[in-house]
Structure 1
């Protein structure tokens, strides 16, 4: 059985365990069904997720030109504190920026490799946490725009990591932390502009279980640029990673825009 198309991040469905899907233009694949089976991934080329042209991918599934012109990859995406739509100030496309920035955003704590702080749109829970491979997550504040979420995250970065250690996440080397107790410590760290939105007593702790048969003790990352054809037995899926029997891990999201053929 073969599937062919442009890679985009795996779609997920919250459940016990999380369900994962690879979605192509004319087909989709429930990746959970491939556990303990051998799969072959062949790299066939590139296709920019923005312009659709067969151009080498630069970052985030975009070619070089689109990465530096598209409103959907402005600097405020990675640094929410740079958001300016609430001031009617345009970065690349004010209509798009207002649509995305001027909606409820969550600042959260997630336990993926260690406790980390992050920002996501309210509509992206719990998808955002699943994509990071978090085993638990909890909201801190829900604010009306991306800017307020960004300045709250910046204030908390002095106390928590803001990135996931992917190696620790994939080897499941995670020390348990009581996130509800952790949230209780934060009230005085929240910026004044966001204090009224602080969640003190809300019971919204999420727990995620991933379809993993066996965690690797060491991991090595698969790059399709260096290894255009790979074969391995799938042992787990966590975050946006496929985990294979020999310790090879493949980050689907970082390979967005790559055209592949998957054979089972």
Structure 2
């Protein structure tokens, strides 16, 4: 497999409980699950392009944007990180039409188990994609809202009682305690604000996810193209948005979106 182009978040899907990854570079696609156990070489050419407008840049902002797009594009607006500040449902925002399409849509508040139990939100259409991107081994839906703002309000209320961040090291090593998601969902229910209680999600389906791993690493060391233009080794695993090489070196593909690379397996 030989590919070249700008990195973007790896497309993922869940088939029979197993996460499947594709490396997609400017239209070129490669099956990464099929490359497990093979030697892989990724070479950064030194070129970076904004993932929104395509202009050549020297550094990225917010996972792949040039500074003007990071400042002005709706995909990089404040409410991506802070959904409770979303104004889309009021007809406001950087691009109200974009907000209507992406944020004034049903959202889920969920509990996931990545490096531990955490709360998060995502659009209805992004389950289980969001959980795979975070390296979660399981997840359950807590609430279903009509827009991003409502989901953000619920998430903020739950942050006082549940983590909202993932430790990438623990997630990759699989050093995770068992969690009873049904029990935790019942605990979380009482922290939903009264005015949002009607959004509680009654269905209790748990989605479990297996990742393409030859084995879980005991130690992990992050490597990036800014310091190592050529990254190579045996592909021993894929989890979250990380490639795991030689069972110890990891590189985050999503965080290096816009980097032009040449890939050979």
TM-score normalised according to structure 2 size: 0.96
Provide, for residues 23-58 of structure 1, a one-character-per-residue CA deviation record: whole Å limited to 9, x for no partner.
122420000111111111100111111111111322
Per the alignment, residue 237 of structure 1 pairs with 238
Q: Is 1:79 the equivalent of 2:101?
A: no
- Quote how far apart the aligned CAs of 1:237 are: 0.5
Unaligned runs of 5+ in 1: none
Give the secondary-structure state (helix, strand or coil) at the position aligned to 1:92.
coil
Moved more, 183-192 or 121-130: 183-192
Inter-partner Cα distance in structure 1 for 2:222 and 2:206: 31
Unaligned runs of 5+ in 2: none
Q: Is 1:68 the equivalent of 2:71?
A: yes
Inter-partner Cα distance in structure 2 for 1:70 and 1:154: 24
Residues 80, 224 of structure 1: alpha-carbon distance in 2 compared, 3 angstrom cutoff: same
Inter-partner Cα distance in structure 2 for 1:262 and 1:187: 46
Give the secondary-structure state (helix, strand or coil) at the position aligned to 2:175.
coil
Inter-partner Cα distance in structure 2 for 1:72 and 1:93: 9
Instruction: List, as ranges, runs of 4+ consecutive aligned residues in structure 1 with deviation greater than 4 Å.
Output: none
- Quote how far apart the aligned CAs of 1:96 are: 1.2
Moved more, 90-99 or 221-230: 90-99
- Quote how far apart the aligned CAs of 1:184 are: 1.0
Moved more, 177-186 or 119-128: 177-186
Give the secondary-structure state (helix, strand or coil) at the position aligned to 2:3.
strand
Aligned residues: 262
Inter-partner Cα distance in structure 2 for 1:234 and 1:4: 18
Per the alignment, residue 11 of structure 1 pairs with 11
Per the alignment, residue 153 of structure 2 pairs with 151
Give the secondary-structure state (helix, strand or coil) at the position aligned to 1:3.
strand
Aligned partners of 2:114 and 2:135 also within 8 Å: yes
Q: Tell me how large the CA RMSD over aligned residues is.
A: 1.1
Inter-partner Cα distance in structure 2 for 1:216 and 1:72: 34
- Quote how far apart the aligned CAs of 1:104 are: 0.2
Residues 38-53 of structure 1 mapped to structure 2, 5 A cutoff: 38-44=39-45, 45-53=47-55
Per the alignment, residue 123 of structure 2 pairs with 121
Provide, for residues 65-123 of structure 1, a one-character-per-residue CA deviation record: whole Å limited to 9, x for no partner.
111111111000110000112223x2311121122221100000000001000000000
Inter-partner Cα distance in structure 1 for 2:41 and 2:70: 30
Aligned partners of 1:232 and 1:246 also within 8 Å: no
Provide, for residues 221-255 of structure 1, a one-character-per-residue CA deviation record: whole Å limited to 9, x for no partner.
11100000121111000111101115110111101
TM-score normalised according to structure 1 size: 0.96
Per the alignment, residue 102 of structure 2 pairs with 100
Aligned partners of 2:141 and 2:204 also within 8 Å: no
